[in-house]
């Protein structure tokens, strides 16, 4: 669970020994179809790594529960996969 406008870190592992590969992350309201909204910032085109992290700025995302998925591309065609579980974004933060 994360509040609207907070940063949610997405940790992933991506490796292709034959080609350079990147991944773009998306969110949607279910865990099927690969038909969501692309994340901006460092999660829009993240590079290879084991235990790598990109930061999702949840500002502008409506409160709700979302599935996150990545679409990797090594130049030989895209491959998509959903993460396990969902991210829940709660209402607007209260100023301190």
State pLDDT tens for residues 39-90: 988 999 999 999 999 999 998 899 999 999 999 999 888 999 999 999 999 9
- Provide the whole-model pTM: 0.89
With b for 16 or more beta-carbon neighbours within 10 A and e for fewer, the 71-85 pattern comes to bbbbeeeeeeebeee
pLDDT for the residue numbered 93 = 56
DSSP designation for 85 = S
Q: List own/partner pairs for 32-41 with CB under 8 A and 24 or more apart.
A: 32/82, 34/69, 34/71, 34/80, 36/66, 36/67, 36/69
Return the closest-CA partner of residue 48 out of 9, 26, 80, 20.
Answer: 20
- What pLDDT score was predicted for residue 52? 96
């Amino acid at each position: 669970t994360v509040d609207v406008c907070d940063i949610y870190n997405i940790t992933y592992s991506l490796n292709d020994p034959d080609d350079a590969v990147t991944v773009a992350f998306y969110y949607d309201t279910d865990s099927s179809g690969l038909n969501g909204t692309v994340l901006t910032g460092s999660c829009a085109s993240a590079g290879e790594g084991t235990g790598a992290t990109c930061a999702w700025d949840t500002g502008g995302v409506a409160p709700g529960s979302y599935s996150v998925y990545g679409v990797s591309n090594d130049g030989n065609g895209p491959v998509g996969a959903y993460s396990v579980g969902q991210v829940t974004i709660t209402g607007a933060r209260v100023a301190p």
